[in-house]
Amino acid sequence: MTILITGGAGFIGSHLADVLLDAGHTVHAYDNLSTGRRENIAHLEDHDRFSLTIGNVLDRHTLEQGIREADVVVHLAAAVGVKRVMEKPVETIKTNVGGTENVLELADYHGTKVAIASTSEVYGKAMQKDDDLDALSETDDWTLGTTEKRRWAYACSKAMDEFLAKAYADEHGLDVISLRFFNTVGPRQSGRYGMVIPNFVRQARAGEDIRVFGDGKQTRCFTHVYDAVEAVQRLIDTEKEIRGEVFNIGSHHEISINELAERVRDLTGSSSDIVHVPYEDVYGPGFEDMRRRTPNVTKLKETIGFVPERDTDEILKDVIGATTPA
Ligand code: UDP
């Protein structure tokens, strides 16, 4: 098959390109190199089944050329990372809503199968520490914050993508699924957009303070990018009828950010101090974080017979192993 990956030079996209090429597919990466990096795909540039187009998903004309030639589009291009969303809300909303609109409309026109990247951010504050909710399921209600708080623009933009995907599936019969990624991490992830693991590893390596935001008791389920891309590959390949469906892609290994900081410090052999920084100092007043975000992956398991299993230590070892010491 020929697979177009928008955001193909990005962190998840480049790993997905690796596995799809290994499986014998032809991969066309489409990326504007805003958050994607050429070095992520440098090892693929001479591959005879790989090509790269530098373009923006808001540029319909260039995008259409890629979609016309593809059997499947995996749409990962998006404004990502809480930091970027906080700094660039206009770009976030325009890219995430407008880009997905273009992808869906063009895929619909050309009859191309699509997988759209969404995010566990859409669950918002559905899972607070005191709740008796064990895990977030695809059909659970969401609790997003007010539009006064720009963090939620990201969740809303992705929620709109999901609505649009479902609308195309229901109304036009488009073969499209949405993928809710839970804190996907691993080698090649940049710390520039605020993600915690690359930042902690860099700080530990440099002997700088490891900066935990808030009280550090918030938890996350970090998902190894190798597991995430395997799940995507299996979802693309499945013969099952999953048109219009949404899937959680995440690990069940839950860890607090305080514990994460300690594990990073231990595994890097660093003597950095772990310090707590108020959210306000990082993101300005009124920032809201999520206390917990744990996926229910039953649907994923039932559909593809696979769930992410790699734990946080395995992830950290791979990230630390792939990072150059400061
Ligand atoms: N975080 C932190 N220090 C950092 C970056 C993030 O303590 O340098 C915290 C952040 O406040 C959140 C968690 O780590 O509670 C995960 O942050 P990330 O931005 O990686 O993903 P999120 O889950 O917020 O989308």
Q: How far is the CA of 261 from the centre of ligand 1 (A)?
A: 11
Low-confidence ranges of the chain (pLDDT < 50): none
Is the CB–ligand 1 distance for residue 258 below 6 Å? no
Q: Please give the full DSSP string across 269-283, using - where no structure is assigned.
A: T--PPEEEE-HHHHH
Residues with Cβ within 8 Å of 241's Cβ and at least 6 positions away in sequence, in order, are: none
Q: How far is the CA of 51 from the centre of ligand 1 (A)?
A: 33
Residue 169, SS3? helix
Which residue shows structure tokens 């993101």? 283
Is the CB–ligand 1 distance for residue 212 below 6 Å? yes
Is the CB–ligand 1 distance for residue 218 below 6 Å? yes
Q: Are strands 176-181 and 50-54 parallel, antiparallel or unpaired?
A: unpaired
pLDDT of residue 150: 86
Give the mutation target among 92, 196, 283 for probing the ligand 1 site: most ligand atoms within 8 A of CB: 196
Residues with Cβ within 8 Å of 138's Cβ and at least 6 positions away in sequence, in order, are: 180, 245, 246, 247, 248, 296, 299
Rounded CA gap, 295 and 252, in Å?
Answer: 7
Rounded CA gap, 255 and 204, in Å?
Answer: 18
Residues with Cβ within 8 Å of 160's Cβ and at least 6 positions away in sequence, in order, are: 96, 97, 100
Rounded CA gap, 314 and 252, in Å?
Answer: 14
Q: Please give the DSSP secondary-structure letter assigned to residue 120.
A: G
Domain residue limits, the chain: 2-185+224-251+295-308
pLDDT of residue 82: 77
Q: What is the pTM assigned to this prediction?
A: 0.95
Q: Tokens at residue 241, please?
A: 């009828």
Q: Which residue's alpha carbon is nearest to atom 3 within ligand 1?
A: 212
Kindly list the catalytic residues: 154
Is the CB–ligand 1 distance for residue 199 below 6 Å? yes
pLDDT of residue 79: 87
Rounded CA gap, 201 and 218, in Å?
Answer: 19
Cα separation values, 27 from 15, 80, 88, 135, 151, Å: 12, 22, 30, 35, 33
Q: Please give the DSSP secondary-structure letter assigned to residue 324.
A: P
What's the CATH code, domain 2-185+224-251+295-308?
3.40.50.720
**Counting atoms of ligand 1 from 1, which one is nearest the CA of 185?**
20
**Counting atoms of ligand 1 from 1, which one is nearest the CA of 197?**
20
pLDDT of residue 130: 53
**Counting atoms of ligand 1 from 1, which one is nearest the CA of 83?**
19
Give the mutation target among 209, 213, 265 for probing the ligand 1 site: most ligand atoms within 8 A of CB: 213
pLDDT of residue 80: 83
Q: Which residue's alpha carbon is nearest to atom 4 within ligand 1?
A: 196
Q: How far is the CA of 20 from the centre of ligand 1 (A)?
A: 30
Is the CB–ligand 1 distance for residue 289 below 6 Å? yes
Cα separation values, 86 from 114, 144, 153, 244, Å: 28, 16, 9, 30
The answer to whether the beta carbons of residues 315 and 142 sit under 8 Å apart is no
Rounded CA gap, 187 and 322, in Å?
Answer: 6
Burial state string for 49-76 with b = 16 or more CB within 10 A and e = fewer than 16: ebbbbebbbeebeebbebbeebebbbbb
The answer to whether the beta carbons of residues 45 and 18 sit under 8 Å apart is no
**Counting atoms of ligand 1 from 1, which one is nearest the CA of 121?**
25
pLDDT of residue 97: 96
